[in-house]
Structure 1
C-alpha cells in the first residue's frame, strides 16, 4: 500500500570528516581513564579503544521531539558504525527550567529509538552538573592567566556595550581589574555573597571582534536557584557556551556534532579548549565541533517553549498527545522506532537548511508497517446492511490473509451473517458518476465474501438512510469456483453486526493547517487544525485484540494502534497513526 519506492540512503558529509580523521590518526594517541576528567585524570588512562566518541546532549527542560531524533540517530549511529562510543549527556546548567521528569522521559525515548550509551564496560550517561567542580577550577585558571575577569555591570549594560554587527563593542570598566581581585569576587559569588545579576564572570577576548560571540562572552552568572541534582550547593551556574566545550573535553569527545546555529560559536569553543589545554587543564587531542542542518518539518513546531504552551493551555492532552511532534506523542500515535530511524536515514546530513515535507515522515511509517502490520477490517462510520435473502440465524466463515506480503502470517477468519456493518460512504441512493459501490440495482463484492445486489434502503422521518438492503448471490463466495462468475467493479469492507467488536477510534490529523505555523511573527495558535482529532464509535473485525501498542492496517483506511494509555481489551481505544495515502497532497 505504499505510494513510492524507498529512496537510496542520503549523503552524510560527516562520514567523510571522520574517515579523514581516522586515516590521519588524529585521535590515535587519545587516552581515556574510563571516566570523564581533566588532563591529570586522562593521563592515567589507557589508549582509548573507542575509535571515535560522540555525544547527544539534551537539556532536560522538555520532552524530545522529532528534531531531536535526527541528532540521536546521527550521533549514536556514527559511533556504532565506526566502532566508537556515544555518550548521553544532560546539559543541566539552567536550574530554573530543568526537572527530573524530563530526564526520565529523555532516557525512555533514547532507549525506545533503539540506542544505548554503554560501551565495553562503560555506562556513558553523564550530567553537566557532574562537572561543576571542574568548570569552576578552570574558571579560576583562566582568571589567573589573565583570560577572564569579574564584571560588575548589569546584564543590560553588558548587552549595550557589546556593540552591533556593524559597530565594535566597548570595554567594560572592570575589564582590567587585577586577577587576584577577580578571584576573590568569583569566590564570593560562589559562596553566595552577592545577589543575582550583580556580577558575572566574562572571558577576556576581543570587544572589537567581528564575531560578536567573541566579545568577552559571559562564563558564569549568579542564580540563587536550587538545582534538580545539586540542590543549593551552587548559586553560580555556567553559560552553555562555556559549559559545552568543557563537557566535551572532559568526556574525551572527538567529534562534537551540533546544529548550524552553533557555527558562530565554534571560534569561542576552540578558544576555550586551546587555552585550557595550554594551561594544562585539558588533554590533547581536543574535540572538534562540526555543524549540520537541523530538521525543520512542515506543519510542525519544535520550540520547547511553544510546545509547553500547548500543554499548559490544554490545547493538547499532554506531552504525549498523539498530535504532538514529541517522540512520546509519535510513539503513542503509532510510529515505530524503525520508521523514525528510516525517516532520519532518508534525510541524510547536510550543511544547508531546508524544510522537509511532513509527508516524508508519514511515508516512512507506511513503508515500515506495510510488510509487517496484520490486516483487519474496521467500520468507522457504520450503517447497517441487511442481506434480505440470507437465512436468519445462519453464519459462515470467510477467510483473508493475515498480511498479503507475509506468507507466514497465515490467514484470519471471521463470520458473515444476515446483518452487517458497512461504511456509510459505501452507499449512495443517487450515486455520482464513476461510483462503483452500493446503490439501488448495483452489484458489488463484499470483500472476502459474496457478491450482493443492492435492492434499496430504509429512511427515518427526516429522510436519513438508516438501513441498506441487498440480496446475496449464493454461488459467488470468494475462494469458491463461482467467485468469478459475476463481474463487478466495486469491493467494500464489512463486519458482522452480531460479532463485531465495539471500539472508540480517534482519527488524528496534523495539529496545524499552515505548513509554516510559527514563521515570522505569526501567532501559531491561529494555525491550529480544529479537526486534528475526531472521535468515532466504530466496529472492528471480531478477533481483534486491542492490547496497548498493537498495530494493524485497517483495510482501505490506514494504520491504527491501540492507545498505550487508554485502551483495554474490554474497552478498546484505537488511534489512527497514518492514512494509507497522503490526503494532504490534494489540499496544498
Structure 2
C-alpha cells in the first residue's frame, strides 16, 4: 500500500468532512493553524500544519494562520517570524493576511461583558492557590467561590477597573459561572481573564488584562468562520468548555472542534518548555540546532519540505495515541535525497596516500556522474594527482574477515579512476599510520579493471587540489527511546554525548566551492549532507543529514 493510500485509509477527519459536505453542512471548508508564538515549531507541529493546510487544499477551502497570542510573558516577534518562515518553507499558503487573537481583544472583552450581564461570569478575588483548593478534584466536587454571587452591576464595575489597571496582578480574575460540581473539571467556573501589567507585542500598552486561551480560542474560530477546528487529543477534555462558550455567546458562526492524535516520536522531546530549556542552558546551540526536532533544525540539518510532508502523510491521522519510530522520519529523507541529491566525494578523516609511480607534476581530470541514476544531472570533474587522501577507516593493517578496502599488498579501486595497491605503511613515533605508499596500474583507468579484480572501492580526493571543510556529524540527541519516560531522572540525563562530532580537517571536491546554504549532497559511501547556514567562502561547513542506511537501529540490537 502506498503512503497516500495509507493516509487516506487512516484519515478519519477527511471522511468526516466529506460527510459534512455531502449533508450540506458547509459551503466551504475553512481550517486554521493557530500556534502560540512562545517557541519554535517542531516536528509535531508539522503534522498539524500538514493536516490543516492539506485539508483546506484537498477540499478547495482556505486555511488561516492565526497566532493565539494571549500570553505576552512568553511570546516574541522572533517566534512569530520563525513560525511564518516554517509554514512557508513547508510549501503552504495561508488565506488572506496573518491573523492574531489580539486582533479580537476588543470583541472578546465585549463578549466577556455579555456573559457578566447574562449572569454567567463574575469577578473573583480568590488567590490562585485558594481557587485551586475551591475547585476540588476528580473525586471531590468543588465549592462555590464566596464572590460568585456578586451582582451584575458590581461585576461590571470591577471588570472595568480590571481593564483600567486599577488592581495588581493576581488581585482578582474574571471567571465563568458554570457548575462547581461538574464531573468535568474544566467546567468548574474556569478563568476567562487575568490581570497582567505587561505590554503586548501587537497591542502595546493598550491592555493590562488578557483572555485565557480557552476563552479566546473558540471565539476566534467563530469570528473567522472556521468550519472545522482541528486540535490534538489533549484538547479533548476542553471541548465541553469550547462548546459552552459557543452556545452562550452571540458568535457569528458555530465551529466544530475535532481532536486527533498528536505526533509522538521516539528519541526526542517535543515539549516547547523542554526544548527552550535545552537552548537556554546551552545544551544545544539554538532553536535551529540540527539536533533539535524543530522544523528549522530539521531544515538546517538538510531535511526537505517534501520529506517532512511525506512523513506526515505516511503516519496517517487517527484518534489513537502512539509513538512513531525516528527511523521512519530518517527513511523519508533518505528516500527523498537518494533520487534528488547529487553525488560528491568528501574525505572526513584524511589519511595521506602517495602514488609513488605517478609523476609528481602530472594531473588528470576524471569525469564522474553527478548522479548514477539520473543522467540529466550531468557530470562532475575531479583531479587525480600524486598526493591523495582517503578515509582513515578505509585502511587496516590487520583487516577483519571479508574486508573489502585497502590493506598492504591488496588492490582496491579509487572511485572512478585507477586501481592502486598499498606497498608500504608509514607510521609516526607513536605508531599511528600517517601515510600509505601506493602504486597505481595505468591499465585500470576508468571503471573496468584489466587483468585482475580489485578487492573493493574507496572514495578519495586530491590532497593538492581539493577544498578544506568542516563536517559536523550530527546524530540523535538522546540515547533513550523515551527521554521523558523515567520520572525519577531528568530528561537531560539522556543526552547523547556523541550527538555532535566535529571533523575539522575534512576535504571535499573542488566543485562544491560556491554551493549555497541548504544545498544537499550524498557524500559517496558516507551519507547525506547539507551545506550549513553559517558556511562561507572562508569556511565551508557541511552537516550530516542522515546515513546511507539505518545504522542506529543495528547498533541498538
Q: Normalization by structure 2: what TM-score?
A: 0.96
* Residue matched to 1:275: 248
Aligned partner of residue 587 in structure 1, secondary structure = helix
Contact preservation (8 Å) 2:232, 2:259: yes
Q: Secondary structure at the match of 2:510?
A: coil
Match of 1:491 among 447, 457, 470: 457
| 5+ long unaligned stretches in structure 2 | none
Q: Distance in 2 between matches of 1:7 and 1:427?
A: 45
Give the Å deviation of 1:144. 1.0
Work out the CA distance in 2 between the residues paired with 1:230 and 1:414. 58
Counterpart of 1:111 in structure 2 is 88
1:515 corresponds in structure 2 to 481
Name the CA shift for 1:7/1:271 in 2 (closer, same or farther; >3 Å): closer
Alignment of 1:371 onto 2:344: no
* Matched residue, 1:570: 538
1:341-383, CA deviations, whole angstroms, 9 ceiling, x for partnerless residues? 1111111111111111111111111111111111000000110
The whole-number CA distance in structure 1 between the counterparts of 2:56 and 2:5 is 22
2:56 corresponds to: 79
Matched-pair contact (CA < 8 Å) for 1:384–1:468: yes
* Two-structure CA RMSD over aligned residues (Å): 1.5
**Residue in 1 that maps onto 2:522:** 553
**Is 1:386 matched with 2:359?**
no
Question: Which shifted more, 516-525 or 103-112?
Answer: 516-525
1:373 and 1:333 map into 2 onto residues whose CA distance is: 14
How far the C-alpha of 1:294 sits from its partner, in A, is 0.7
Name 1:224's counterpart in structure 2: 197
Shift of residue 391, structure 1, vs aligned partner:
2.2
Establish whether residue 149 from structure 1 lines up as the match of residue 122 from structure 2. Answer: yes
Matches within 5 A, 1:196-275: 196-275=169-248
TM-score, normalised to structure 1's length? 0.91
Q: Which residue of 2 aligns with 1:15?
A: 14
C-alpha displacement of 1:7: 8.1
Partner of 2:37: 60
Residues 1:345 and 2:345 are matched in the alignment: no
CA–CA separation in structure 2 for the residues paired with 1:74 and 1:6 = 15
Q: Do 1:439 and 1:456's aligned partners in 2 also have CA atoms closer than 8 Å?
A: no
In structure 2, the CA distance between the partners of 1:126 and 1:225, relative to structure 1 (3 Å rule), is: same
1:127 aligns with 2:93: no
- Aligned residue among 330, 338, 351 for 1:362: 330
Alignment partners' CA distance in 1, 2:358 and 2:295: 49
Instruction: State the aligned residue count.
Output: 551
Whether the 8 Å CA contact 2:4–2:313 is kept in 1: the answer is: no
Q: Determine if the alignment matches structure 1 residue 505 to structure 2 residue 471.
A: yes
* Deviation (angstroms), 1:557: 0.7
- The 8 Å contact of residues 476 and 486 in structure 1, kept in 2 or not, is answered as no
Contact kept? 2:342, 2:520, Cα under 8 Å = yes
Confirm whether residue 440 of structure 1 aligns to residue 408 of structure 2: yes
Q: C-alpha offsets along residues 103-149 of structure 1, whole Å, 9 cap, x if unaligned?
A: 1111111111111113xxxx241101111100011011111111111
Cα distance in 1, alignment partners of residues 437 and 541 from structure 2: 30
How many Å apart are 1:6 and its aligned residue? 6.5
Q: Deviations over 1:437-467 (max 9, x none)?
A: 1111111111111112221211111111111
SS of structure 1 residue aligned to 2:443: coil
SS of corresponding position for 1:368: helix
